[in-house]
Amino acid sequence: MTRSIPSLIQSPIGARVAPFLLFIVLTFAQGAFGPGGQYWLYAAKTILAVCLLWAVRRQLKELEWRLSWEAVVVGVLVFWLWVRLDDLFIQVGISYPKMKLPAAEWNPHVHFGQGAALAWFFIGVRILGSSLVVPPLQEIFFRSFLYRYVARVDFQSVPLGTFLWMPFLLTSVVFGLEHREWLAGILGGVLYQGLVCRKKRLGDAVTAHAITNLLLGVWVVWKGQWIYW
């Protein structure tokens, strides 16, 4: 049984799906450990995700960080959509339903005390995790696996960056529905996938995603907009 786990994550599908699914499962489990438990579990799942990514790194030839001006523009644009899209709709008198919020708001200052060392520790963990760990997890799953798997079960036979309408739209929608800000998420999925199709590599999308999440993390702390976490 113990040997089957390493063999699972070393398979082409397992290497791209297992780290992401485990991270998602632990995310949904955060509320089960009480108001304080969610912070410790976030730190634990982030460390576990890093370990899994390291374990499967040789299977993920497409996983590399690439800095390009397109990645910077997309990263900033998706961040802007994330925090400003609602205002644009309000200005034209339109509102749309959001995904259900978690039972407990993710604000360490409320649980550990305003300005407490532990509060800032977990804020740092959240920013680092969302900026350095979440982007490769999600981009590997959505762009490297799901997009190509929708195109063909033998997904590795589909060159990374091949443009196909059905996988492009479906992957963007699924990516968006994973987030509370689902409309901004769908548009973000379109832009990230567009980067992969344009550059024919995954690294630009990983970088753009990391820039988005870093800016969002700074925004959350600076403006006190914990709802985005």
CA-nearest of 2, 4, 40, 42 to 23 is: 42
Please name the residue ranges forming H helices in the chain: 4-9, 12-29, 34-55, 69-91, 108-112, 117-128, 134-139, 147-151, 165-177, 182-199, 203-223
- Model confidence at 83, in pLDDT bands (50, 70, 90)? very high
Is residue 32's pLDDT more than 50?
yes
CB 203 within 8 A of CB 191: no
How confident is the model over 184-198, as pLDDT tens digits?
Answer: 999 999 999 999 999
pLDDT, residue 103, reads 52
- Model confidence at 224, in pLDDT bands (50, 70, 90)? very high
How confident is the model over 145-169, as pLDDT tens digits?
Answer: 999 999 999 999 999 999 999 999 9
CB 216 within 8 A of CB 207: no
pLDDT, residue 64, reads 79
The residue whose two tokens read 């082409």 is 12
Paired tokens of 145: 């696996």
Provide the angle, in degrees to the nearest 10, between the axes of the packed helices 34-55 and 117-128.
40
Q: Which long-range contacts (CB under 8 A, 24 or more apart) does 90-99 make?
A: 96/183, 98/180, 98/181, 98/182, 99/177, 99/179, 99/180, 99/181, 99/182
